[in-house]
């Protein structure tokens, strides 16, 4: 299997807050990330597609095509936005890196699987919230 990755970048604001819990619980659990007036991150995103190289092109997926999908489905919607209130597909979730990678994967999956060669598939979505804090969603799709 060959793994192909496209790296992207976006900036966004968020707040970690569980509306079902008290303000005190939220402050204690999320600390600075619970700041009522939001805070920002410089996010780095890595989207990986797995498969075999197509015999005619040598590609698992055309990286220009992959970039176009990531721009349309994620970056156009999230870059310079408030993830809590401005992104319809994130509505109702606490925008931790964990929840974001899963939501991004689901948002990208169909388009990438349709546009990749042969049986190549979206493999994982990895999000660097900071240099040191990273979440990855990798449901290990079966390759037929």
Judged by beta carbon, residue 33 or residue 127, the one nearer Ni ion is 33
- Known active-site residue 129: yes
Place of tokens 């721009």: 71
Please pick, among 39, 52, 80, 91, the residue that the annotation labels catalytic: 80
100 is a site residue for Ni ion (CB under 5 A): no
3-state helix, strand, coil split of the chain in percent (to 5) is: 35, 30, 40
- Known active-site residue 9: no
Tally of CB atoms within 10 A around 44: 16
> Using the 8-state DSSP alphabet, how is residue 71 labeled?
I
Judged by beta carbon, residue 66 or residue 100, the one nearer Ni ion is 100
CB of 128 to Ni ion, least distance (A): 12
Please pick, among 33, 41, 78, 107, the residue that the annotation labels catalytic: 33
CB of 33 to Ni ion, least distance (A): 4
Among 10, 17, 26, 33, binds Ni ion (CB under 5 A): 33
- Known active-site residue 86: no
Using CA atoms, how far apart are residues 143 and 50, in angstroms rounded to an integer?
Answer: 8
3-class DSSP assignment, residue 2: strand
| Catalytic residue set | 33, 80, 129
Positions that interact with Ni ion (CB under 5 A) = 33
């Amino acid at each position: 299997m060959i793994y192909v990755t496209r790296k992207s970048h976006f900036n966004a604001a968020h707040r970690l807050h569980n509306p079902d819990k008290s303000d005190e619980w939220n402050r204690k659990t999320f600390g600075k990330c619970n700041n009522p007036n939001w805070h920002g991150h410089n996010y780095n995103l890595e989207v990986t597609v797995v498969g075999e190289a197509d015999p005619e092109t040598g590609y698992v997926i055309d990286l220009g095509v992959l970039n176009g999908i990531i721009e349309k489905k994620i970056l156009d919607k999230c870059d310079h936005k408030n993830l809590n209130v401005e992104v319809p597909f994130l509505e109702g979730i606490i925008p931790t890196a964990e929840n974001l990678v899963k939501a991004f994967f689901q948002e990208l999956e169909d388009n990438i699987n349709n546009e990749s060669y042969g049986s190549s598939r979206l493999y994982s979505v990895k999000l660097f919230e900071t240099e040191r804090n990273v979440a990855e969603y990798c449901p290990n799709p079966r390759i037929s």
